Amino acid sequence: MADSTPATSTPTMEPDVASEATIPKPFPISHIAGRYLLFDVNVISYARRTHNITGVLIGTIPNLSQQNVFLGIPLELQPEEARVLVEQGHAFIVDDAEVHRKGMMAMSREQRLKLLREMDREGMELAKAESRKAEERSTKALKEKGLTRKEKKSDESNSSAAVEGSETSLFDSKGETPTAVSVSEKKLEPVPITPTTSYPPLTTPSANAASQLPDVPKSYPLFRYLHSKGYFTMPGLRFGCHYSVYPGDTLRFHSHYLATGLDFDEEFELQDVIGGGRLANRVKKAYLIGGEVTSENDKEAEGDEIAPVRTFSIEWAAM
């Protein structure tokens, strides 16, 4: 076991100035049903590129909900990731349900009617597009069967055709032509539209200094320490630890540490350290434990000063 201070190794990436210009600073993090979510692709890439925040994509394809290989937005943040962004002033927490409730109540009747008319217009355009596609498919299917579509006629032509038909013999079969099939036209109804964004019609939420900080587990000091050193972290549940720690972007590097955060004076089983160390070495990593160094005087002291964090790495040299 050795006292370890991980070295900083963060790859440099050129920022996209055009996309960053449209990102509000600080940017909002939606708090929905106990989860911290990002819905904006530009914000997601900015947080990853600039602040070493990876998160986990949890969005599924609507028509293929079981195709979990191709997950998309929103991006779910760990409470620790949301907390460190808020503490550093890069983001703020938005109670999504409350913001939507207040925003909808603040809208005037004219604004609501305008929104409904716009949704009806988009729904009608979508219905017309679907109707055209259905008509094209129907025409193609009729041609393959040697049939033709009966053209729409005026009321006069329909009445004259009815008179001529009455004078024609029932068994007159002269001039065989392809059978005409009439397709009943249905009155188009607007397709129900579910808006994919709330801004507009709602106004973009502003930072609120009184917003609460996300609740975090006792391993947060270790996470904050690793983040300050430029490391990327991912959930470490599959390895039986708190975090998988990467020296750079997770798309470019393998993780170097399996990290577990503890209180500095917390007792732990030696068997857990042995198991974690052996597993980490088995997958070509080091096992890292650490905690915030606190004393009785530090606990009684008031202020925003952050206590130091001490870390230890465990490796099995024979493996």
Active site (catalytic) residues: 246, 254, 285
Q: Do β-strands 72-77 and 2-3 pair in parallel, antiparallel, or remain unpaired?
A: unpaired
- Name the H helices within 145-188: 155-167
**In the beta sheet, which residues pair with residue 233?**
245
Dist. CA 93–CA 22, nearest whole Å: 19
Cα dihedral 264, 265, 271, 276 in deg (nearest 10) = -10
Dist. CA 261–CA 243, nearest whole Å: 9
- DSSP three-state, residue 81: helix
Phi-psi category of residue 284: left, alpha or beta, with phi > 0 → left and psi -120 to 50 → alpha: left
Expressed in angstroms, the distance from the first to the final Cα of the chain is 15
Dist. CA 257–CA 280, nearest whole Å: 7
Q: How far is CA 202 from CA 37, 100, 112, 119, 194, in A?
A: 18, 8, 11, 15, 15
